[in-house]
Chains A and B, each alone.
Chain A
Amino acid sequence: MSRNARINTLLLLLVAALAVIPLALGLGDHKEEPFAGADGEAETAITEIDPDYEPWFSPLYEPPSGEIESALFALQAALGAGVLAYYFGLRRGRRQGEARAREAAGAQDADAGVPTGADGGRD
């Protein structure tokens, strides 16, 4: 593995560790509902501060079940990951194509004994 790939893997492992450590140490055990969403906890805090508060508007559409909700969250993540993967794949393909074109041009120029017009600046 190259040094670059090692650093990137290390970054991913660190993120995974940050997510796993609270679970592994059972840091949610003191709660009635361990690892609930902070957004929901804020709603509870609001009703503690102001027990009379009634939300005056409700969502136009609400996923009918937790499964549908998680499906839509997965869809959101998949859309984002898909676009990111497309971007990096396209970039990599372009760089490889350009490198090959340069090699081919270099070989031709060498055959013909023509000095190469260097243009390495283009990405």
Chain B
Amino acid sequence: MHIAEGFLPPAHAVAWGVASAPFVVHGARSLVRDVREHPESTLLLGASGAFTFVLSALKLPSVTGSCSHPTGTGLGAILFRPPVMAVLGTITLLFQALLLAHGGLTTLGANVFSMAVVGPWAGYGVYRLLRRYGVPLMGAVFCGAFAADLSTYCVTSVQLALAFPDPGSGFLGALGKFGSIFAVTQIPLAVSEGLLTVLVMRLLVQSSRGELTRLGVLVTSVGGGKRAESAEAVAR
């Protein structure tokens, strides 16, 4: 999903930067507020950022015969709500743009919009919706992480199709082209990201029950109940 440095025309680069900036500023504010009100959650915040760091460095082969990587933004969005992920995702993208020549500064706005804004919101939305309809925690976490991953790559395809419409078939033709490169490749990777996010959430349910209860992911810590499902929130 990284649009390479200089590969978006200046007008598009500026427009996506302007679109992303408010989300990152708002996210930074809510991050500072979260840490001030609940200093004990700093560690879990760091772990959520670390999950994004690992997953976005993990380039995996896919059924289309090309490689891509997950984003890891679903977990943090489910735990801390999407605004916080706008900041953590931006930090990851900056690291890759500055040190790895992966993505870029001129395309940072567009990449932040897909990976750190739309992805987390889509994942969080799917997670909340499924929880409201009584889907078990881990099912909702899987679908949320899957949606966060795949939607990121769909947005990248739209961004590129807007910037480079096909001379013959226009925007839709280009969307099909970029979509087949990004979105189709991403489907099995999004499944992998969903599975890994479920794994980390399972470990968190074991190790950080109190924290998850405070964040509203679990409803009450039923004293060491064997089945996690019994303690799950139906609605947050």
Q: B67, A35: Cβ atoms under 8 Å?
A: yes
Q: B61, A28: Cβ atoms under 8 Å?
A: yes
Q: B67, A37: Cβ atoms under 8 Å?
A: yes
B156-212 interface with A by 8 A CB criterion:
156, 160, 164-167, 174, 177-178, 181-182, 185-186, 188-189, 191-192, 195-196, 198-200, 202-203, 206-211
Q: For the complex, what is the distance from the CA of A7 to the CA of B181, rounded to whole Å?
A: 33
Contact for A41 among B181, B191, B223, CB less than 8 A: B181
A55-105 interface with B by 8 A CB criterion:
55-63, 69, 72-74, 76-77, 79-84, 87-88, 90-92, 95
CB closest chain-B residue, reference A49:
B164
Identify the stretch in B2-10, B28-36, B129-137 within 8 Å (CB) of chain A at 4 or more residues: B2-10
CB closest chain-B residue, reference A81:
B54
Q: B208, A41: Cβ atoms under 8 Å?
A: no
Q: Does A115 contact B (CB under 8 A)?
A: no
Contact for B203 among A8, A22, A59, CB less than 8 A: A8
Q: For the complex, what is the distance from the CA of A83 to the CA of B97, rounded to whole Å?
A: 21
Q: A95, B50: Cβ atoms under 8 Å?
A: no
Q: For the complex, what is the distance from the CA of A4 to the CA of B67, rounded to whole Å?
A: 31
Q: A55 with B7: in contact, given A27-B64, A49-B167, A122-B210 (CB under 8 Å)?
A: yes
Min CB–CB distance A82 → chain B (angstroms): 8
Q: Does B46 contact A (CB under 8 A)?
A: yes
Q: Does B235 contact A (CB under 8 A)?
A: no
Q: B47, A62: Cβ atoms under 8 Å?
A: no
In this complex, how many residues of chain A approach chain B with their Cβ under 8 Å: the count is: 62
A13-68 interface with B by 8 A CB criterion:
14-15, 18-19, 21-23, 27-31, 34-39, 41-43, 45-46, 49-50, 53, 55-63
Interface residues of B (CB under 8 A from A): 1-7, 9-10, 43-44, 46-47, 49-68, 95-102, 104-106, 156, 160, 164-167, 174, 177-178, 181-182, 185-186, 188-189, 191-192, 195-196, 198-200, 202-203, 206-211, 221, 223-224
